[in-house]
């Protein structure tokens, strides 16, 4: 069964600093991978997805992620953090007979002024 | 607003009572999913529908949980005889399957259940 593991339940960065949120996957087949963001009191929003095309995927709000098969990783990055990036971020993999998303436990990003 | 709509947004109930949540998906979407999210965890898949057919329900947490989508449009999730452990956020998501499905789901804002 496909699964994802997010390393670090809380990450703090200074405004303007690099954001790096880690996600490793486990899959016996080429995975479809996703990053979603959840702002307080809002629904989850898709940031970006990897569907076996380009390994470097660009998403909304300046985020990008790189699929690295050799490392079974799909880390999320942003060169310069903004206060508005403070939110919870979830990595997910498409899995199961229902083709549902299986989510990691999430990483809460805090951006310090 | 053409997004996924969930009602009620908040429900407080006493243990043993039944509760029902409603989800209105994006109108042209044929797939509808229910997830549960507890504090500090990612969403956990419960069940899904393609049109009115419930194609996966083995992940529902117990026989106290049931879901319907009678006309392939809105869906309801019912929890009977609620327990304190049912306290969580219940999320609904929808998508449109055409050809090779690449999994993008559109989520509602969720219905938060508190069982006293």
**Residue A109 pLDDT grade (very low, low, confident, very high; cuts 50, 70, 90):** very high
Q: CA B27 to CA B76: how far, in whole Å? A: 16
Residue B56 at interface with chain A, using a CB cutoff of 8 Å: yes
A42 to chain B nearest CA, in Å?
A: 5
**pLDDT tens-digit profile of A65-92?**
999 999 999 999 999 999 999 999 999 9
Report how many Cβ contacts below 8 Å link chain A to chain B: 63
Give me A92's structure tokens.
Answer: 């997910």
**Residue A41 pLDDT grade (very low, low, confident, very high; cuts 50, 70, 90):** confident
Q: Determine the 3-state secondary structure of A83 from DSSP.
A: helix
Minimum Cα–Cα distance from B49: chain A residue? A98
Of A42, A82, A89, which Cα lies nearest the Cα of A65? Answer: A89
What integer is the mean pLDDT of A40-62? 89
DSSP string, A20-75: EEEEEEE-SSPPPEEEEEE-TTS--EEEEEE-SS-SEEE-GGG-EEEEEGGGTEEE
Q: Is the model's pLDDT at B21 over the cut of 60? A: yes
* DSSP summary character for residue A113: -
Give me A91's structure tokens.
Answer: 């990595």
Which helix (DSSP H) or strand (DSSP E) does residue A26 occupy?
strand A19-26
């Amino acid at each position: 069964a496909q699964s994802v593991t997010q390393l670090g339940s809380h990450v703090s960065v200074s405004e303007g600093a690099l954001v790096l949120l880690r996600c490793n996957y486990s899959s016996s087949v080429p995975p479809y991978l996703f990053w979603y963001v959840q702002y307080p009191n809002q629904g989850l929003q898709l940031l970006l997805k990897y569907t076996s095309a380009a390994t470097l995927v660009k998403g909304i709000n300046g985020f990008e992620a790189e699929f690295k098969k050799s490392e079974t990783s799909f880390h999320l990055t942003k060169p310069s953090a903004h206060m508005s990036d403070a939110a919870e971020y979830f990595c997910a993999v498409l899995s199961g007979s229902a083709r549902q998303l299986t989510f990691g436990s999430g990483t809460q990003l805090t951006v310090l002024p | 607003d053409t997004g996924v709509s969930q009602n009620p947004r908040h429900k407080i109930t006493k243990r043993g009572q039944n509760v029902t949540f409603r989800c209105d998906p994006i109108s042209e979407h044929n797939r509808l999913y229910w997830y549960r999210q507890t504090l500090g965890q990612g969403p956990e898949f419960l069940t899904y529908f393609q049109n009115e057919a419930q194609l996966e329900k083995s992940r529902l947490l117990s026989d106290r949980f049931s879901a319907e989508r009678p006309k392939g449009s809105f869906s309801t999730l019912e929890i009977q005889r609620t327990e304190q452990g049912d306290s969580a956020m219940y999320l609904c998501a929808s998508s449109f399957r055409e050809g090779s499905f690449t999994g993008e789901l559109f989520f509602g804002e969720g219905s938060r259940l508190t069982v006293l």
